Structures are given as structure tokens and as C-alpha cells.
Amino acid sequence: MKGRDLLTLADFTKEELHNILRKSSEMKSDLKCGNYIRPYLGGKTVILLFQKPSTRTRVSFDVGVHQLGGHPLYLGWNDLQLGRGETIADTARTFDVYADGIVARVFKHTDLETMAACARAPVINALSDAAHPCQALGDCLTIWEKKGRLEEVNVAFVGDGNDNVCRSLAEAVMKFGGNMTIASPTKYQLPSSYADSLKKGASKGAALTLTEDPKAAVKNADVVYTDVWVSMGQEAENQERMATFKAYQVNSELMSHAPKDAIVMHCLPAHRGLEITDEVIDGKNSVVWDQAENRLHAQKGIMALLL
Ligand code: CP
Ligand code: NVA
């Protein structure tokens, strides 16, 4: 996998994704044993370019690059000449002469594609409007640890079906042979063209179910997952989204329709009282802090293999 970009999980085989998870798990055990620095990056510089706010992704990549013996260089979009109109292509060419890897969070997924086309250094998607692959890999590591399997695992996503986190999660779960159910209002459901591509990339036996009914979605769930109703960049749709998603809150009533041992996941940041209630996110089935932690280990696994 050395030298590859990671823009979406669609470009990776099930075996490659398994290798990333294995490496991530190795990184985690190693750290727990007190081995803080594993010099996979041997002094290499990794640029962390962010066009949108971030807590987990920014911190975990910074810490992760350091723990791999590299140098993380955080850059805010508007601090660069990008903010004054220099093109993304020329920015990527410039990064390429100084750095060995580019981690980028952008509004438009096509901007990542441009960067990847113009830089030889691997480009890693730290969230775009279309995908959040590092989140999905960290989440699969969490599901694997908590449920002991990814094959035939039932994941129910409740909320915005066309959300970047939901899209990458579905890609990963179905590639690993799990079943994905998405409960979303029809207007915000995953587009059929994307559903078709998910099915094409899935392992044999993996199913995708799209529904408007959250209760039906969680009925046989091993995992109940939600994300914000208004993603970064969608603020103008705030009022309409708030009204439409009201019936999609993950609360105790909804969880009473799920199996007792279903784990609750959220990529965070959460809007408590909107897509998820305090009692559920702070409840005994919630694994959100394991998810946040596993971002670090998964991204170290990704960087060790790609960079
Ligand atoms: N889940 C996630 O990507 O969080 P941040 O926006 O804080 O990075
Ligand atoms: N869907 C959310 C995820 C944040 C990590 C967003 O794009 O804002």
C-alpha cells in the first residue's frame, strides 16, 4: 500500500482494509505496553491542512505523526496563499517539494482529488463533504473489539443517510461483510447511485437496507450509530434539517427497540439533546470514547502502511 492515497475506502480491497486494522491493533497494543515512539516515519514531515474546524482528527493526527517519529505540520487554509487565491493544484505541488504526506480536511471532495493528482506524496482524507474514511476505519476497529467480528455484524445508522460519516461507514461495513441499515427521511437518504456502488464493492452476503423507520432499523442491530443533523457547510439548511430529523433522535425510547447489548456509536462532536440524548451517549452501551481513542491507532496504522 506504500505511496497510495486514501480518499475513500472504495479504492481498497477487503484484504487491504483488514491489513490496516491489524496494523492499527498492533499500534494500540504497542502503545499500551509503553512503547510511545515507533519510528515508522523516520523524521518524515506530514502536512495537516484543515479548511474546517476539528478536535479529534487534528489532535490524533498530530499525536500520531509524533508517535511514529515524524514531524506534523498543522496548516489552516486561510493562513496559506490558498486563502488569497493560489490554486489547490499549485499548493499541492508546493507541499510535495517539502513534505512526505498530506492529510487534508476540505469542503469539496474534488479538491482532494486535485491534490492527489498533483502531489506524489500520499494524500489522506481527513473528512470531505463525501467521505470520512479514517473515521470509518477507527469505528471498524471499535466494532471488531467490542463485537469480536465485522462479518455479519448489523449496523444501523439513524439520521442523515447521505452524511459523509455514514457513507464511509457503509463502505467499510459492507466490504467487511456486515449488514448496513440506514434510517433517514427520504429527502436525505443515500442516493440510489451511491447505494448501487456500495453493493458492487461489498463482500458476498452483505446487505444494504434503506428505510424511513428508525425503530425497524435498530430492531436487530449490534451497533446503533448516529451523527449530527447539520454537517459543516450545511448551516444554511439548519432550520429545515432540525424539523425533518426530529423523529430520528437516538434516545432511550428508540434504544428500547434495539437488542439490549447493542452498542451506541457517534463520531463526535455530538449535539446533545438533538441527534442523541445525554442518557444514551453517557449510558452503559455507549462506546464513543473508545471510538475517539481508536482514531489515533487507526490513523497510525494507515500512515505506517501508506507513508
Ligand atoms: N469525528 C471527527 O472527525 O471529529 P473532529 O471534527 O473533532 O475532528
Ligand atoms: N458529518 C459531520 C462529521 C463531523 C466529524 C460533518 O461533516 O460536520
CA dihedral 129, 135, 140, 146 (to 10 degrees): -130
Q: What is the pLDDT of residue 65?
A: 98
Residue whose Cα lies nearest atom 4 of ligand 1: it is 56
Pocket test for ligand 2, best of 107, 163, 299 (most atoms within 8 A of CB): 163
Q: Is the CB of 154 under 6 A from ligand 1?
A: no
Sheet holding 45-50, edge to edge: 71-76, 45-50, 101-105, 123-125
Inter-CA distances, 216 with 74, 150, 259, Å: 43, 21, 12
**36, pLDDT greater than 90:** no
**9, pLDDT greater than 90:** yes
Residue whose Cα lies nearest atom 6 of ligand 1: it is 54
**50, pLDDT greater than 90:** yes
| pLDDT 10s digits, 176-193 | 999 999 999 999 999 999
Residues annotated as catalytic (active site), given as ranges: 105, 132, 135, 227, 267, 295
Contact 126, 105 (CB under 8 A): yes
CA of 184 to the centre of ligand 2 (A): 16
Of 145, 134, 138, 91, which is closest to residue 114 (Cα–Cα)? 91
Contact 104, 127 (CB under 8 A): no
Domains and CATH numbers, the chain: 9-131+295-306 (3.40.50.1370), 135-292 (3.40.50.1370)
Amino acid letter for position 305? L
CA–CA dist 215, 248 (Å, integer): 9
Cell of 6: 486514501
What per-residue string of b and e applies to 111-120 under the rule 16 or more CB within 10 Å gives b? bbbbbbebbe
Q: What is the pLDDT of residue 66?
A: 97
| pLDDT 10s digits, 225-264 | 999 999 999 999 999 999 999 999 999 999 999 999 999 9
For the chain, count helices (H), then strands (E): 12, 9
**171, pLDDT greater than 90:** yes
Residue whose Cα lies nearest atom 8 of ligand 2: it is 231
Helix%, strand%, coil% for the chain, nearest 5: 50, 15, 35
Pocket test for ligand 1, best of 48, 55, 62 (most atoms within 8 A of CB): 55
DSSP state of 83: G
Cell of 144: 471488531
| pLDDT 10s digits, 53-100 | 999 999 999 999 999 999 999 999 999 999 899 999 999 999 999 999
Pocket test for ligand 2, best of 165, 225, 234 (most atoms within 8 A of CB): 165
Cell of 152: 455479519
Neighbours of 98 (CB within 10 A): 10
CA atoms within 13 A on the CB side of 61: 27
**166, pLDDT greater than 90:** yes
Strands (E), the chain: 45-50, 71-76, 101-105, 123-125, 154-158, 179-183, 208-211, 223-226, 263-266
Model's pTM, two decimal places? 0.98
**278, pLDDT greater than 90:** yes
What per-residue string of b and e applies to 239-276 under the rule 16 or more CB within 10 Å gives b? eebeebbeebbbeeebbeebeeebbbbbbbebeeebbb
CA of 43 to the centre of ligand 2 (A): 31
CA of 178 to the centre of ligand 2 (A): 23
**167, pLDDT greater than 90:** yes
**123, pLDDT greater than 90:** yes
Kindly list the protein residues whose Cβ atom lies closer than 6 A to any atom of ligand 2: 127, 163-165, 227-228, 231-232, 267
Q: Is the CB of 168 under 6 A from ligand 1?
A: no
